[in-house]
Amino acid sequence: MQSVLSELRDAQVGEVLPNEPLAPYTSWKIGGPADLLVIPESKAQLVETIRILHRHGVPFLPIGRGSNMLVSDKGIRGAVVKLGGGLNQLRFEGSRIYVGGGYSLITLSVRAGKEGLTGLEFAGGIPGTVGGAVYMNAGAHGSDMSRILIEAEIVLETGELVRLQKEDLLFAYRHSVLHTLPGIVTEAVLELAPGDRKEIAAANATYKERRIRTQPLHLPCAGSTFRNPDHQHAAKLIEEAGLKGLRVGGAEVSTLHANFIINTGDATAEDVLRLMERMQNAVRERFGIELVPEVLLVGEP
């Protein structure tokens, strides 16, 4: 690992931090150290980072804002590549948007509305990056990224840059081909529709008010813990199983939204995993339904 560390620093690819704790970089504020954390500040630095890691056979995990993931207490072997400010580009061309993989999805939703473009209102409450949203086919309020994405630029694990069309991404519910094709989204091209600015702003305000009222966004959490089963809502099942407020260590099922697990201050990844297991067992026993995690479980077991 020392040789790859030296090569990355010599190549001046941005910040290169060995044995860096990941908790400060995740929305759950949980996670052990990565062998290496690299924070490139441009697409060129990102590509060079990936090429160096590939040459040395070092696996990597990309993160944006660290939402929707649970990092093991033991941390991550290999490298974590955090998308820095160099992937925050944004350009409007009519109803088409060219946006960097590191751009905030919530900010993009607001910016699109101010441009008089509709179709991104659903994303106004998803606290991640555009790249993460493509990876997960993030969605809410009956829509998702597959409805608006035209193509995405990806840097593959070899460092090669490719452009994948919507059909190449094999979108499904909270899934894309990137789950099996290692790579990082450097840019997404979205197609929206002209809309009324006042109506878009009103919709955004409604969604924002609903988020504040129903989700514990003032506390460390990772968004929805489990996927919604077919024709069901995970939160409703968890609540009806009587699990609101259930705690394991510092992890607690939110009393505001049953499909959110909050870190009350000192939660570990093990606390969260044990709590998730208890939630799955309770819902299985009560309803015969298997809850499937929506959050990504990453790192050394």
Decide if 5 contacts 44 (C-beta within 8 A): no
What is the C-alpha separation between 184 and 167, in angstroms, rounded?
A: 18
HEC readout, 184-218: EEEEEEEECEECCHHHHHHHHHHHHHHHHHHCCCC
Strand 69-71 to 296-298 pairing: parallel
What CA–CA distance (Å, rounded) separates 120 from 132? 15
The answer to whether residue 165 scores a pLDDT higher than 80 is yes
Query: What's 216-298's CATH class?
Result: alpha beta
Cα–Cα nearest to 266, from 301, 224, 220, 215: 220
Catalytic entry in 121, 224, 252, 254: 224
pLDDT at residue 225 in the model: 97
Annotated catalytic residue, options 20, 48, 153, 294: 294
pLDDT digits (tens, 9 = 90+) for 47-82: 999 999 999 999 999 998 898 999 999 999 999 999
Q: What is the rounded average pLDDT of the residues 23-52? A: 96
Listed in sequence order, the residues at least 6 apart from 49 whose beta carbon sits closer than 8 Å to its beta carbon are 8, 11, 13, 14, 38, 40, 81
Integer Cα distance of 251 and 247 in angstroms: 6
**All structural domains of the chain with their residue ranges:** 2-85, 88-200, 216-298
Comparing 11 with 1, which gets the higher pLDDT?
Answer: 11
Q: What are phi and psi of 162, to 5 degrees?
A: -135, 160
Buried/exposed code over 202-238 (b: 16+ C-beta within 10 A; e: otherwise): ebbeebeeebeeebebebbbbbbbbbbeeeeebbebb
Whole-Å CA distances, 168 to 98, 159, 176, 180: 18, 19, 9, 13
Which pLDDT does position 149 carry in this prediction? 98
Residue 174 among the catalytic residues: yes
CATH of domain 88-200: 3.30.465.10
List the catalytic residue out of 20, 109, 174, 176. 174
Tens digits of residue pLDDT in 192-237: 999 999 999 998 888 888 888 889 988 999 999 999 999 999 999 9
Calpha distance 103→120 (Å, rounded): 14
- Separation of alpha carbons 216 and 109, rounded Å: 21
What are the tens digits of pLDDT across the range 90-113?
A: 999 999 999 999 999 999 999 999
Asked if residue 106 lies in contact with residue 125, where contact means CB atoms within 8 angstroms, the answer is yes
Q: Is 27 a catalytic residue?
A: no
The verdict on domain 2-85 having CATH code 3.30.43.10 is yes
Beta-bridge mates of residue 117: 194
- Confirm whether 294 is a catalytic residue: yes
Strand partners, 222: none
